[in-house]
Amino acid sequence: MQRFFIITLVAVLLLSFSFSSMATDLSEQDQLGILPESALVPHIALLLPLESASFGEAANMVKEGFVTATQRGEPLPAIIRLYSTTDDPLDILITYHQALSAGAIFVVGPLTRDGVSAVASSHFSSVPTLALNTADSNTNLPPKLYSFGLQMESEANQLAELALSSGRSHAIIIGDDSSLSKRLQNAFTLRWQNEIDKTTESFLYADNPAVLQQFRNLTGGSNHLVFLALDLEKSRLLRSYIDPEVPVYATSQIFAGTDNFLLNNDLNDIQFLDMPWLLQPDHPAVMAYRHTSTAKSIEMERLYALGIDAFRLLVNLMLPQPIDAISIDGVTGQIRFQLPNQFVRELVAAQFKSGKIQLIMNSKSIVEDEGQ
C-alpha cells in the first residue's frame, strides 16, 4: 500500500499536466460547455467517476441530484466545474490534482472508497474537500478532507442504538461472508457491546433448508433480539425461520420501496432505518426538491438524494461559521458534524407492518397500499 501511494505521488507530479481530463461548467439547466484547458478560474470542483463502467450510473445519479439542488440553493461564490474520471484511484488522484492546479477552491468528491483513500493518502487536499464516501479504515483523513456519504456502517451503529431501547440483552447477529456484511457485523457489535451486560452471538447464513430450520430455536429467548447483516433476498428468506416473538433489526438493504406489498409482507415486523427521501414524503426538505424520473432502483434514488444533500452541505461549509455548528435537516437524514472530520446522518426508524411501512416513533403509516 505504501509503495502504491509513492508511485501515485510520482505519477501525479510527472503526469499532471500531460494527462488530459474533461472539465465542464454546470449551469442551472445542466448544460455543459467545454472549458479551455488552460483556464485558471477559482471554482468548485465536482469530481465523479462518470466514465466508470461500474460506478457511472451511480455517479450520474449523484450529479443529477447535485444539479437539482443548485437550482434551489443559495448562490455560491464560485462556478462549479464537473470533472469526469474513471474509478481508477490513480486517474482520480491525477484529476483531483488537476482541479487544484486549475484553481479549485473547494472539491466535492471522490465518490468511491478507493478514490477517497487515494486522495487521503496523497495529502494533496490543500483546499476543503467533501468526499462522498469514506476511506479505508486504516487511512487517516487530512484536516481539510471531510467524509460524507451513505456509509452502511453508520446504519449498523444506529440500529444498535435503536435495539438498546428494546430492553433485550443478547443480540444474535446473522451475516454472510461478504465484506459489507462483515463491516456491518463489526459496527453493530462494537456499539452493542459498549453497553454493560450486553452480549452477542454470531451465526453464518446458509441457503440450506436444514440449516435455516435451526434458526427458529437459535433465535428464541425472552432476552434475545436479532440483527440481520444481510441483503433483501436473504433477509426475506430467513425471516420465516426466526422466532416471531423476537425483535428483528436490519439495515436499509432490505427496503426496496413501497410498491411491493407481498415482498414487504414477507418482512413483517422487521425494524430498519432509511432516509426521509424514501420514508417521509411530507418532510419539508423532501417536498422542496423534484424527484428524478431516471432512477431505476431505490439504491439510485438514495444516490440522487445524496447529490442533493452534498450540495446543501457544500453551501454550509462555505459559510463563515464553525464547522461543528453545521446541522442540516436533510433529505438523506439529519446531518451533523462528528469529530475528527466526518458528517454523519441520523436516519428515520421504520418497520414493516402487514405489507405497509410505518414510522416507529409515532406509528404513523406513511404509505398506504393501493386498494387497501
Residue 16 has pLDDT above 50, yes or no: no
CA 146 – CA 193 distance, rounded (Å): 28
Q: What are the b/e assignments for 221-255, b being 16+ CB within 10 Å?
A: eeebbbbbbbbbebbbebbebbbeebbbbbbbbbb
Task: Tell me which architecture the domain covering 153-275+348-359 has in CATH.
Answer: 3-Layer(aba) Sandwich (3.40)
- Give me the mean pLDDT over the 23-38 stretch: 48
Of the chain, the end-to-end C-alpha distance in Å amounts to: 56
Confidence class for position 371, pLDDT limits 50, 70, 90: very low
Of 99-103, 104-108, 310-314, 359-363, where does mean pLDDT reach its minimum?
359-363
Report domain extents, the chain. 1-147+283-346, 153-275+348-359
Q: What percent of the chain has pLDDT over 70?
A: 86
Cell of 132: 462522498
Confidence class for position 38, pLDDT limits 50, 70, 90: low
Residue 356 has pLDDT above 60, yes or no: yes
Q: Output phi, psi for 23, to 5 deg.
A: -120, 130
Residue 372 has pLDDT above 50, yes or no: no
Confidence class for position 116, pLDDT limits 50, 70, 90: very high
HSE-up of residue 320 (Cα within 13 Å, Cβ side): 1
- Give me the mean pLDDT over the 101-124 stretch: 93
- Give me the mean pLDDT over the 122-147 stretch: 87
Cell of 276: 426521509
Residue 35 has pLDDT above 50, yes or no: no
CA 55 – CA 217 distance, rounded (Å): 42
Report pLDDT digits (tens) over 149-192: 999 999 999 999 999 999 999 999 999 999 999 999 999 999 99
Residue 59 has pLDDT above 50, yes or no: yes
> Which pTM value belongs to this model?
0.87
> Which positions ≥6 away from 24 have C-beta within 8 Å?
32, 33, 34, 35, 81, 82, 84
Residue 1 has pLDDT above 50, yes or no: no
Of 26-30, 37-41, 126-130, where does mean pLDDT reach its minimum?
26-30
Q: Output phi, psi for 201, to 5 deg.
A: -145, 130
CATH of 1-147+283-346, picked from 1.20.1060.10, 3.40.50.1820, 3.30.56.10, 3.40.50.2300, is 3.40.50.2300
Alpha helix segments (H runs only) across the chain: 2-15, 56-70, 89-101, 113-122, 152-164, 179-192, 209-219, 232-239, 261-266, 276-279, 284-288, 298-317
